[in-house]
Amino acid sequence: MEENTKRQYLYGMHPVLEAVRAGKKFDKVLLRQGLENPQFRELMELLQKNGIPYQFVPVEKLNHTVRGAHQGVIACIASIDYISIEEMVDTALAVTPSPLIAILDGVSDVRNLGAISRTLECAGGNGIIVPAKGGAAINADAIKSSAGALMRIGISKVPNLRYAVYYLKQSGFSIVAATEKADGSIYDADMTGPCAVIMGSEGRGISQSVLSLADVRASIPMSGEISSLNVSAAAAVVLFEAVRQRQAKGNVK
């Protein structure tokens, strides 16, 4: 997504398709003249079905509107629809007795945000909580890196992560902090019930004020000489350990 004269644009065939499927609101969709492929035909059907205005324009107009690889499709949208943490928890508990949520503390790289979102969606997760300040922006790079997952899962932006953790604990969630500063392994942490996994920035990790609220501190066992993983890779390991545990217990398919 990119801002241009106070408007925000989402571009690329797959991100726009995912946004339309997810019921996002659009002012208008710009399409390159002569565009023709199966995804385009699917997009056209969805635009017409949902009554979303669209316009065919020369490729020069698309190139002038955004700087990225638009693939012949640009959608003008208001913004990402953030939800409150209360709504996230209520919605998650309504669909599953064991929601899985990710809390990102200081993760500022948009590609990491996108990759973590994609992993969480693939793992059947229910939402991501990010801080209002210091977190990655949800822009075109993040949405592309997420393969559209950011348009499908709930995103809550909170002014204080400590409040979010307190609220999750009061709602019955176990808080698991993925950190090197732990004696136990992620394979020993019980993530079969309602669970929120905290991931920190690669440089500083999880802030002490948030880490102190975790129910469990768990590390990823390392055997190589490099002592840490990229945060998105680490998130994938932790989240799919939660999936493994839940499958073993019969909590998920």
Give the pLDDT mean for 168-172.
Answer: 97
pLDDT tens track for 182-206: 889 999 999 999 999 999 987 889 9
Q: What is 85-249's CATH superfamily?
A: SPOUT methyltransferase, trefoil knot domain (3.40.1280.10)
pLDDT tens track for 18-60: 888 887 777 789 999 999 999 999 999 999 988 888 999 999 9
User: What's the sign of the alpha-carbon dihedral 186, 192, 198, 201?
Assistant: positive
Spatial distance between the Cα atoms of 21 and 13, rounded to a whole number of angstroms:
12
Domain ranges for the chain, please list them: 2-77, 85-249
| CA contacts within 13 A on the Cβ side of 108 | 9
Spatial distance between the Cα atoms of 246 and 253, rounded to a whole number of angstroms:
9
Give the pLDDT mean for 137-142.
Answer: 73
pLDDT tens track for 109-118: 989 999 999 9
Taking 3-state DSSP, the helix, strand and coil percentages for the chain, each rounded to the nearest 5, stand at: 35, 25, 40
Domain topology for 2-77: 60s Ribosomal Protein L30; Chain: A; (3.30.1330)
Contact 32, 85 (CB under 8 A): no
Give the pLDDT mean for 114-129.
Answer: 95
Residue 141 has pLDDT above 80, yes or no: no
Count of CB atoms within 10 A of residue 61's CB? 13
Strand partners of residue 117: none
Residue 4 pLDDT: 44
pLDDT tens track for 65-89: 888 889 999 988 655 678 999 999 9
Lowest mean pLDDT among 51-55, 126-130, 224-228, 238-242: 224-228
